[in-house]
Structure 1
Amino acid sequence: MPDQEHRKRLDALDDRIAALKGKEQKPHQEEHYSQANMAWRMVIELVSGLGIGFGIGYGLDSLFGTLPILLVVFTLLGFAAGVQTMMRTANELQRTKSAEAAGEEKRTEDGD
Structure 2
Amino acid sequence: MRDRMQALEQRLAAARKAQDPKPRTDEHYSMANMAWRMVTELVAGLLIGFGIGYGLDTVLGTMPIFLVIFVLLGLAAGINVMLRTAKEIGAEATDAPPKTKED
TM-score (normalised: structure 2): 0.67
Which amino acid letter does the alignment assign opposite residue 104 of structure 1? P
Query: 4+ residue stretches of structure 1 with deviation over 4 A?
Result: none
What is residue 7 of structure 2 aligned with on the other side? Answer: none
What is residue 49 of structure 1 aligned with on the other side? Answer: 45
Structure 2 counterpart of 1:62, from 58, 62, 67: 58
The alpha-carbon deviation at position 72 of structure 1 amounts to: 0.3
Structure 2 counterpart of 1:94, from 78, 90, 93: 90
Structure 2 counterpart of 1:104, from 88, 98, 103: 98
The alpha-carbon deviation at position 35 of structure 1 amounts to: 1.4
Percent of pairs with identical residues: 58
Q: How far apart, CA to CA, are the structure 2 residues paired with 1:78 and 1:55?
A: 10
Which amino acid letter does the alignment assign opposite residue 74 of structure 1? F
Q: How far apart, CA to CA, are the structure 1 residues paired with 2:92 and 2:66?
A: 39
The alpha-carbon deviation at position 104 of structure 1 amounts to: 2.4
Size of the aligned set, in residue pairs, is: 77
List runs of 5+ in structure 2 lacking aligned partners.
Answer: 1-24
